[in-house]
Amino acid sequence: MAANNSIEWRAVCEKFRLAQELSEIESKKDPENNPFRSKYKARDLLKEIHCSLKKIEIEEQGEAGDEADCESSQTADGEPEDGFEKTFTGDSAAGLRAARLAVLQYHLGVNHIETEELSAGELHLMVCMKLIDKCTTTRENVSLFIHVRNQLGILWAGRDEIEKAQGFLEIAETMYLVYMKEDGQPPLDLQDFFVPEGEELSQQEKIRRFEMAYTHTLYYLAQVYKNLQQYERAAQYCHSTLQRQLEYKQFAPLEWAINAATLSQYYITKTRYMEARHCLAAASVIANLAGEIPSEAAAKESEAESEKREELLQKRAEIARCWIKYCLNLLQDAKKLLEDNIGELDLDRQDELKRARRNEEEEKEKGRKSAILFGSSDTFDSICSLEEKVSSMLPLEFEEARSIFLVGQSYVTQAKEYFAMDGHVTDHIEILQDHSALFKVLAFFEEDLERRCKMHKRRVDMLEPICKDLNAQYYLLICRQLQFELAETYYEMMDLKLAVADKLDQPDVHTIKKFNHLCSSSMKYYQMFLDSTRSPEGKFPEKLEDDLLRPALVAKFRVARLHSKLISSNLATQMENLSLSLESYNFVVQYCEENPEAKNAVETELELSMEMVSLLPLKINRIRSTLASSK
């Protein structure tokens, strides 16, 4: 080891400090036409240090050249040695010498990579690897082991050799884990090799840097696994990256929160609601750490405040929208589980699931929970208490469903505040569509038909005004979605009214009027949807686009049914309605005859349409003869 306080050594340390400064700070100010000026200067300094190190070594040791480590560039010979061929222990004098040279090689490697000389950079990194691979892993070199492998991982991924990158990074991961298990003391940072005595980093800073290097390893592995299409694993590594950032306080609150909220959406697609909820609760809590939202007045005063306000409001609204999806999917998944073949609540199934739930819930949750928790000591409790506000279990009855619905609805209100119609049309409508979907799935759990009908009415009330105002030239797809949804909602209400009326002996005039109104409203929106597919000249397409095929034929089919449902005491009107109904049924049948590939898309509807096409004419004829005889 060099005498830590010699004048020469102080000069070396000063050079190293300068090289770091040039590379990290000065280089940002380099002119466009000479972008790597400071990096080149830093490189020269590093090379000088390398030379003087050699010199000091020779002077002190007197016994030069223990290995073939003369000059860097021509030494990448042979295979890297395996673990069992370690020559020195990492903390021996020889081990430290090797590590010190390796640090320089590492910096030279990174420097070359940053100046777009990848192959030269690779060479230096490999020399670095060889030097430390001769030593056992200790506190002195473990950090370097991880850093150099991170760099090699990035390098090889850039060359599209993902497996090679994966190899380096996975070794780094293992090394960290083994070191933490066997030693765990704060390791030396790369910088610690080149500071005069007494100026070493604090223990705390050493830990921070070491843990950060490992966080980076995990973060690169997340990307590697994504590129290898190992999605489950990639998600797991994203999760760990987030978790570690929080633990070691290495994060920007808003970005962290958005990442966690995004991860929750991944868990939703995998129906893992407990994990999704945890991510969301953490996202909400951490987003609050980003500071107070500047008031409107403050925003008017200064641009910085205005930007901050905009950003905070937007990110919080985004997180609210992720919560909405959580509630919605939880309800919808429960519905799927509980419904029978006509979409009604299956009571037997409900009992069965309730029983099953009592038995398994506890043990299942215990097993998974410990693996996924986020939080540093200060945030952990707030995250848990936010979690408690909404269930992560599939609701099995109305009350449970309702409490999830209410949470979802409160996030709807919150999200709409930022995503107002004026300025954010698409987002605003998407939120309303979610709100409508929340009502729709809540209605499934409601047993009282009148109350259920009222829930659907709420959907109509929120969607109908927009559907009227929205410009179809710019929002064609959304218009179609709204038209279709309104048509379906009215259809559903019509069905419910029918079910209610069936229980009465004789429906009164008011009920009939109401019923007919629902029928015509539904028809109106189906028709608007169908009309949206026409050409400017008003022609209906001969061949429907793939993504419109099923909706359009279903719309025709529904229109046909609705025409036949209309109630009228007037025979002539009855006959007319039935004829219109027949016409629409015919359309479905004929379209499928001309385009056989459509048959699969509307199997059930086609079957019923064919049946109706053969039955309706009889019915119509019967009315016609009654009419004729009554004249």
Partner 1 sequence: EANTNSDGDAIKVFVRVRPLTQGTGLSTDGDHSLCLTVSSPQTVRLHCKPEPRTFTYDHVADMNTSQEEVFSSVAKNIVESCMNGYNGTIFAYGQTGSGKTFTMLGPSELDNFSDELRGVIPRSFEYLFFLINREVERSGGTKSFLCKCSFIEIYNEQIYDLLDSVSTSLFLREDIKRGVFVEGSVEKYAASAAEAYQVLSMGWRNRRVASTSMNRESSRSHAVFTMTLESKETGQEVVNIRTSQLNLVDLAGSERQRDTHTEGSRLKEASSINRSLMCLGQVIMALMDVSNGKNRHICYRDSKLTFLLRDSLGGNAKTYIIANVHPGSKCFGETLSTLQFAQRAKLIKNKAMVNEDTQGNVR
Span 7-66, contacts to partner 1 by CB under 8 A: 32
Neighbours of 606 (CB within 10 A): 21
Q: Which residues pair with 88 in a beta bridge?
A: 135
CB of 206 vs partner 1, minimal distance in Å? 18
Nearer to partner 1 by Cβ, of 71 and 340: the residue is 340
* Token pair listed for 354: 């309730």
User: Does residue 324 interact with partner 1 by CB under 8 A?
Assistant: yes
Span near partner 1 by CB under 8 A; candidates 63-71, 91-99, 423-431, 622-630? 423-431
Nearer to partner 1 by Cβ, of 82 and 422: the residue is 422
CB of 603 vs partner 1, minimal distance in Å? 10
Nearer to partner 1 by Cβ, of 15 and 272: the residue is 272
Which among 613, 565, 618, 562 is positioned nearest to 626, based on CA atoms?
618
Nearer to partner 1 by Cβ, of 192 and 255: the residue is 255
Dihedral sign for Cα atoms in the order 45, 49, 50, 52? positive
Cα 212 from chain centre? 24
**Longest alpha-carbon distance in the chain:** 130
Span 128-147, contacts to partner 1 by CB under 8 A: none
User: Does residue 163 interact with partner 1 by CB under 8 A?
Assistant: no
User: Does residue 488 interact with partner 1 by CB under 8 A?
Assistant: yes
- Residues near 539 by beta carbon (within 8 Å), at least 6 away in sequence: none
Give Cα separations from 558 to 581, 586, 588 (angstroms).
9, 13, 11
CB of 408 vs partner 1, minimal distance in Å? 12
Nearer to partner 1 by Cβ, of 15 and 565: the residue is 565
Applying CB under 8 A, what is the total number of residues that bind partner 1? 97
Cα 559 to Cα 617: distance, rounded to the nearest angstrom = 17
3-state secondary structure string across 238-252: HHHHHHHHHHCCCCC
Nearer to partner 1 by Cβ, of 200 and 247: the residue is 247
Span near partner 1 by CB under 8 A; candidates 135-143, 177-185, 188-196, 222-230? 222-230
Span near partner 1 by CB under 8 A; candidates 198-206, 256-264, 451-459, 621-629? 256-264
User: Does residue 588 interact with partner 1 by CB under 8 A?
Assistant: no
Dihedral sign for Cα atoms in the order 221, 192, 65, 123? positive
User: Does residue 338 interact with partner 1 by CB under 8 A?
Assistant: no
CB of 252 vs partner 1, minimal distance in Å? 5
Cα 488 to Cα 494: distance, rounded to the nearest angstrom = 10
Which among 616, 496, 504, 516 is positioned nearest to 569, based on CA atoms?
516
CB of 196 vs partner 1, minimal distance in Å? 27
Span near partner 1 by CB under 8 A; candidates 184-192, 217-225, 353-361, 510-518? 217-225
Residue in 13, 437, 460, 582 binding partner 1, rule: CB under 8 A:
437
DSSP conformation class of 339 = B
User: In terms of C-beta density within 10 A (0-12 exposed, 13-18 middle, 19 or more buried), how is residue 41 classed?
Assistant: middle
Span near partner 1 by CB under 8 A; candidates 7-15, 200-208, 604-612, 620-628? 604-612
Residue in 15, 134, 209, 325 binding partner 1, rule: CB under 8 A:
325
Quick check: 311 and 294 in contact, CB under 8 A?
no
Residue in 104, 165, 287, 582 binding partner 1, rule: CB under 8 A:
165
Binding mask 441-480 for partner 1 (x = CB under 8 A): -------------------------x--xxxxxxxxx--x
Cα 45 to Cα 32: distance, rounded to the nearest angstrom = 23
Phi and psi at residue 135, to the nearest 5°: -110, 155
3-state secondary structure string across 125-142: HHHHHHHHHCECCCCCCH
CB of 118 vs partner 1, minimal distance in Å? 12
User: Does residue 581 interact with partner 1 by CB under 8 A?
Assistant: no
Cα 544 to Cα 311: distance, rounded to the nearest angstrom = 43
Specify the length of the chain in residues. 631
Span 257-316, contacts to partner 1 by CB under 8 A: 258-259, 261-263, 265-266, 268-269, 315
Cα 98 from chain centre? 44
Residue in 193, 220, 418, 585 binding partner 1, rule: CB under 8 A:
220
Residue in 102, 235, 463, 606 binding partner 1, rule: CB under 8 A:
235
Span 500-539, contacts to partner 1 by CB under 8 A: 529, 533-537, 539
Span 376-395, contacts to partner 1 by CB under 8 A: none
